[in-house]
Amino acid sequence: MGEETVSEETSPQVLIVGAGPAGLGLAIELGHRGVPCLLVERNNRVGYAPRAKTTNVRTCEHFRRWGIAHRLRAAAPLGIDHPSHVVFCTRLAGPGLARHENAMYCAPGRNPLYSEHAQWIPQYAVEDILRAHAESLPGVEIRFQCELLDLGQDAQGVTAVLRDLQHGRDVQVRAGYAVGADGARSSVRELIGTRMQGQYGLSRNLNIVFRAPGLAQAHRHGPAIMYWQINRDVPSLIGPMDRGDTWFFMPTQVDERLLASGVDARSLIARATGIDLSYEVLSSDEWVASRLLGDRYRKGRIFLVGDACHLHPPFGGYGMNMGIGDSVDLGWKLAATLQGWGGAGLLDSYEIERRPVHQWVLDEAVLNHSMLGNQLLADQIEAQDETGEQVRREVGQRILAAKMREFSTLGVVLGYQYVDSPIVVPDGSPAASRDFINYVPTSRPGALAPHAWLHDGSSLYDHFGQGFTLLASASASEKDIEAAAAQAEARRLPLTVIRPTEGGVANQYPARLTLIRPDQHVAWRGDAWPGSSVLEHVAGAAIPQGETR
């Protein structure tokens, strides 16, 4: 335990363990809401490891709400105009097979369905932006080289023992709540006894980051964000990752024989691409793809977000984005509880809402994982004759059909709904069938509020308030609006009223009144204000507090 454990004067309202994207996102969400928090991280969070490379549409919308979307665009190492195509070929030096254009919806420009396009950017660059913004917020403190040793709780709060690794001393910190955002090997998860259930070890994988001047010009497939190389020798993924001719490389068939023989990364890349260059390896790390879900996300005042409670293969680019989504959901609910306008049952809704989303994404990621480069192989795929050309055409058609589920997923990214949430007021309308590709906006309670561009060039989302937003149509009763505002003020629930006049908004929001949550999901809709009971419901005050387990 080091020398002596001493108590600190600092008393954050929330202790966050882990300064990856989920932890930083939670610190930002709390910081924007005036909630003091302490974020601790045992590592320095530096290096070339690629981790996530796609910041998806929904996450970019959170960046917009936080006022930092422009920083993400400016930091994109390849530039926002770099084509976000995914190319399938036998090798970089070989013939092409198929391509998915505008994969992940990274193309710049205004789309009616969302306020921000996705961005191809390495996770470490995303973390730099998040960290700088978090550090700029009053009440947010970040400590690196600070490790969690122990965590306990009582009815009033949590007590953590932290080790300052720089100075070799242990300190005790008291907080109202604690959140484990400490990744796949979460110590918080272990301390609260959450078990990960599912399938470990779907595959073993190898990530290699390397520098290769001239590689982009050495093939004929044009600029893209990712190239899938389909061959029997070294089926693999490869693509540009950062400035300075920095690329990533990932074989899709890693076995004990390859690992036991010792990986010669330079030789492996040259064999896979068919291009002999001076490859400079910057990093190499092995990882395991799994499908795992925590059996609970909470114990009393301690919560889990991100990889600490759900792990899935990276195909589809969901991992980092799901973690930030968790932190947004939990963040506004923690703030509401600490500020006194959140009801006793509000925090229980976190797991109830997020678990079905995680299960859907886990299923999608596992399906994508089942169709890697080695599953797309065919005899004679590299033959330089008519037979080879025919095989490549057939494989190309299979690729276009099979991999759409991985690269055209707006239905998953924006279409999830909190159908069974205890803080959403159902209106009896039927839930839409799940569709991984097609996203059909709806103002049905539980769904993401439909997006629209307004005539002044702003996004409808830009006019939503920090708390709840009441969107009123032209035909809404002034008496109803005044009653809603007065009742919200009486119970100290933050409420912004907006009355957009654009016809496009009216088409998306057919009810006279639509109540939208702080996370931009619809909480209630109707043609007449039903009274303060709806506010009690959406703030978690009309449901009993659940078992803390």
What is the per-residue pLDDT across 469-526, written as a single tens digit (0 to 9) for each?
Answer: 999 999 999 999 999 999 999 999 999 999 999 999 999 999 999 999 999 999 999 9
pLDDT higher than threshold 80 for residue 262: no
Is residue 101 predicted with pLDDT exceeding 90?
yes
Q: Does residue 78 register a pLDDT over 80?
A: yes
How many residues are there in the chain? 549
Q: Does 2 score more than 70 pLDDT?
A: no
Q: For residue 22, what are the contacts with CB-CB under 8 A and spacing of at least 6?
A: 181, 305, 306, 307, 308, 320, 323, 324, 326, 327
Tell me the mean pLDDT in the region 69-81. Answer: 95
- Model confidence at 323: pLDDT above 90: yes
Class of domain 417-538: alpha beta
Residue 549 has pLDDT above 80, yes or no: no
Query: Under a CB-based contact definition with an 8 Å cutoff, are residues 413 and 122 in contact?
Result: no
Give the rounded percent of residues in the chain with a pLDDT score beyond 90: 81
Indicate whether 259 pLDDT > 60. no
Residue 342: the pLDDT is: 97
206-229 mean pLDDT: 95
pLDDT computed for residue 459 by the predictor = 98
Q: pLDDT confidence of 7, banded at 50, 70, 90?
A: confident
Give percent above pLDDT 70 in the chain. Answer: 95
Distance CA 34, CA 172 (A): 23
| Residues 59/325, Cβ–Cβ less than 8 Å | yes
pLDDT tens digits along 154-180: 999 999 999 999 999 999 999 999 999
Tokens 């291009």 sit on residue? 275
DSSP string over 288-340? EEEEEEES-SEETTEEE-GGGTEE--STTS-HHHHHHHHHHHHHHHHHHHHHT
| pLDDT above 50: residue 144 | yes
Q: Give the CATH fold of the 5-72+118-197+292-346 domain.
A: FAD/NAD(P)-binding domain (3.50.50)
CA dist., res. 495 & res. 513, Å (int):
13
DSSP 369-389: HTS-GGGS--TTTT-SSHHHH
Q: What mean pLDDT do residues 136-147 have? A: 96
For residue 66, how many other CB atoms are within 10 A of its CB?
20
- pTM for the whole structure: 0.94
Please name the residue ranges forming H helices in 76-141: 123-136
Question: Which residue blocks in 378-496 are alpha helix, DSSP H?
Answer: 386-402, 404-407, 410-415, 478-490
Q: What is the pLDDT of residue 141?
A: 97
Q: Is the pLDDT of residue 215 over 60?
A: yes
pLDDT band at residue 202, thresholds of 50, 70 and 90? confident
What angle separates helix 349-369 from helix 319-339, to the nearest 10 degrees? 180
Give the pLDDT confidence score for residue 8 in this predicted structure.
77
Radius of gyration of the chain (CA): 25
Per-residue pLDDT tens over the stretch 376-398: 889 999 999 999 999 999 999 99
Rounded to an integer, what distance in angstroms lies between the CA atom of residue 496 and that of residue 376?
A: 52
* Amino acid letter for position 543: I
Domain with CATH 3.40.30.120 in the chain: 417-538
Assign 100 a pLDDT band (cuts: 50, 70, 90). Answer: very high
pLDDT digits (tens, 9 = 90+) for 390-442: 999 999 999 998 888 889 899 999 999 999 999 999 999 998 889 999 999 99
Burial of 58 (0-12, 13-18, 19+ CB in 10 A): buried
User: In angstroms, what CA-CA distances link 502 with 455, 457, 496, 515?
Assistant: 7, 12, 18, 18
